[in-house]
Amino acid sequence: MPRIFIDGEAGTTGLGIRERLAPLRERGAIELLSIAHEHRKDPAARRDMMAQADLAVLCLPDDAARTATRIADELGESGPRLLDASTAHRVAEGWTYGFPEMTAGQAQAIRHSRRVSNPGCYPTGAVALLRPLVEAGLLSPDACISINAVSGYTGGGRADIEAHERTGGPAFELYGLALAHKHVPEIQRYAALDRRPLFVPSVGHFPQGMIVSIPVHLAQLSWGATSARLHEALSDAYAGSDVISVCEAEARLDAAALAGSDRMELRVHREESLGHALLTARLDNLGKGASGAALQNIGLMLDLA
Ligand SMILES: NC(=O)C1=CN([C@@H]2O[C@H](COP(=O)(O)OP(=O)(O)OC[C@H]3O[C@@H](n4cnc5c(N)ncnc54)[C@H](OP(=O)(O)O)[C@@H]3O)[C@@H](O)[C@H]2O)C=CC1
Ligand SMILES: CC(=O)N[C@@H](CCC(=O)OP(=O)(O)O)C(=O)O
């Protein structure tokens, strides 16, 4: 029976993964190794857990995830495979990007990799919308792309959750206004863009949910691309996926509508006569944006049905 150690199991992402693994644990498909709370930051205790685990899931701040990776590396071949939920290794050499729906071969690559990085919540939406359009030749890799996004406050981890629940706000806040959010390199790499996209994140006073939206002027697309073709390219890319659906446009979108779900919905809102389209991805930042995606990757890495 495969043994899994969640490093950071008491945090927001770690708890979400633990909860989702409970049914597998109950039916004896996996064993969960747990560290005593008072030792959760003790490198020797964590090394000990890693030495016993087949897979360690890192639900830690970036620096702590780098340290955990060093510990696993030192254990060599007998060390665990790693799934890192932090941002530390998303574009790092030797790591496989844990987005199984991204290309035809990605699930297979994840299945066989010893080092998998779980995608960021915002990149999950942005890459899902952009990559199929670039691959279909509808969007040039050199296009000027702007990405707006709003997340529930749980995206900021324990500190932000406590702050929002203590003070009741702010209601809505733009952040990352130095325009250098940590997710931009990941979005650019996996959306297959040559030009750095402009990314404007925001956070609202609701716990879970996310909308990533990308306005498109049809005149900037490859010649002959219509908004119907955008919808068709996305539908083709995710046909057969249980997790990602391409839905019809709606007049309003509630960012929290998928809270508690591990699914993601994509839409192309369009007004051909105006030459405008708006691509949207709706997901739960803690679901397909974090713990739900981690469960998909754990399932692939450990071959769990
Ligand atoms: N929340 C989200 O929507 C998403 C988060 N992520 C990523 O997942 C990772 C975890 O985030 P999140 O769960 O939100 O964060 P939290 O702050 O909720 O949890 C982090 C956990 O790691 C523990 N921890 C901190 N430092 C160390 C250390 N040196 N050694 C061992 N444990 C440590 C913390 O303990 P303590 O609290 O006691 O300090 C806490 O239990 C981050 O890298 C984040 O970017 C990824 C996708 C989405
Ligand atoms: C609302 C909020 O603060 N969100 C976090 C991103 C959460 C997340 O998903 O970060 P990783 O996936 O990269 O770990 C932020 O913008 O830093």
When pLDDT is averaged across residues 122-130 and rounded to a whole number, the result is 98
Question: CATH number of the domain that 196 lies in?
Answer: 3.30.360.10
Distance 157 CA to ligand 2 centre (A): 8
Same domain as 213, residue 73: no
Q: Does pLDDT of 305 surpass 80?
A: no
Range of the domain at 68: 3-119+290-301
Distance 142 CA to ligand 1 centre (A): 35
The closest alpha carbon to 190, from 119, 136, 259, 295, belongs to: 119
Same domain as 278, residue 176: yes
Who lines ligand 2 at CB under 6 A?
Answer: 86-87, 120-121, 151, 155-156, 160, 183, 201, 203, 289
pLDDT band at 2 (very low <50, low <70, confident <90, very high): very high
Can you tell me the ipTM of this complex? 0.94
- Tens digits of residue pLDDT in 162-175: 999 999 889 999 99
Best probe residue, ligand 2, of 59, 86, 151, 210 (max atoms within 8 Å of C-beta): 151
pLDDT at residue 224, as a whole number: 78
**Structure tokens, 134:** 């670039």
Please give the Cα distance from 116 to 106 (Å, whole number).
Answer: 11
Residues 6+ apart with CB under 8 A from 62: 86, 87, 88
Same domain as 294, residue 256: no
Please give the Cα distance from 182 to 88 (Å, whole number).
Answer: 10
Nearest CA to ligand 2 atom 3: 156
Same domain as 127, residue 90: no
pLDDT at residue 169, as a whole number: 83
Same domain as 142, residue 63: no
Best probe residue, ligand 1, of 9, 13, 38 (max atoms within 8 Å of C-beta): 13
**Structure tokens, 241:** 């996926």
Q: How many domains does the chain have?
A: 2
**Structure tokens, 294:** 């981690």
Same domain as 269, residue 136: yes
When pLDDT is averaged across residues 232-249 and rounded to a whole number, the result is 97
Question: CATH number of the domain that 294 lies in?
Answer: 3.40.50.720
- Cβ(199)–Cβ(149) under 8 Å? yes
Same domain as 125, residue 44: no
pLDDT band at 222 (very low <50, low <70, confident <90, very high): confident
Same domain as 294, residue 235: no
Q: Does pLDDT of 225 surpass 90?
A: no
Same domain as 108, residue 214: no
Residues 6+ apart with CB under 8 A from 84: 58, 65, 69, 95, 115, 116, 117, 118
Q: Does pLDDT of 246 surpass 90?
A: yes
Same domain as 128, residue 97: no
pLDDT band at 152 (very low <50, low <70, confident <90, very high): very high
Please give the Cα distance from 47 to 24 (Å, whole number).
Answer: 25
Q: Is the dihedral of CA 145, 150, 151, 157 positive or negative?
A: positive
pLDDT at residue 157, as a whole number: 87
Same domain as 145, residue 111: no
Who lines ligand 1 at CB under 6 A?
Answer: 8, 10-14, 40-41, 59-62, 64, 85-87, 120-121, 154-155, 157-158, 285-286, 289-290
Same domain as 191, residue 83: no
- Tens digits of residue pLDDT in 255-298: 999 999 999 999 999 988 999 999 999 999 999 999 999 999 99
CA 245 to centroid of chain Cα atoms = 16
- Tens digits of residue pLDDT in 13-63: 999 999 999 999 999 999 999 999 999 999 999 999 999 999 999 999 999
pTM listed for this prediction: 0.96
Higher pLDDT among residues 158 and 213, named by residue:
213
The overall average pLDDT reported for the chain is: 96
Please give the Cα distance from 61 to 87 (Å, whole number).
Answer: 8
When pLDDT is averaged across residues 198-217 and rounded to a whole number, the result is 97
Positions annotated as catalytic residues are: 121
**Structure tokens, 230:** 């955008």
Q: What percent of the chain has pLDDT over 70?
A: 100
pLDDT at residue 281, as a whole number: 99
Nearest CA to ligand 1 atom 20: 11
When pLDDT is averaged across residues 198-208 and rounded to a whole number, the result is 98
pLDDT band at 201 (very low <50, low <70, confident <90, very high): very high
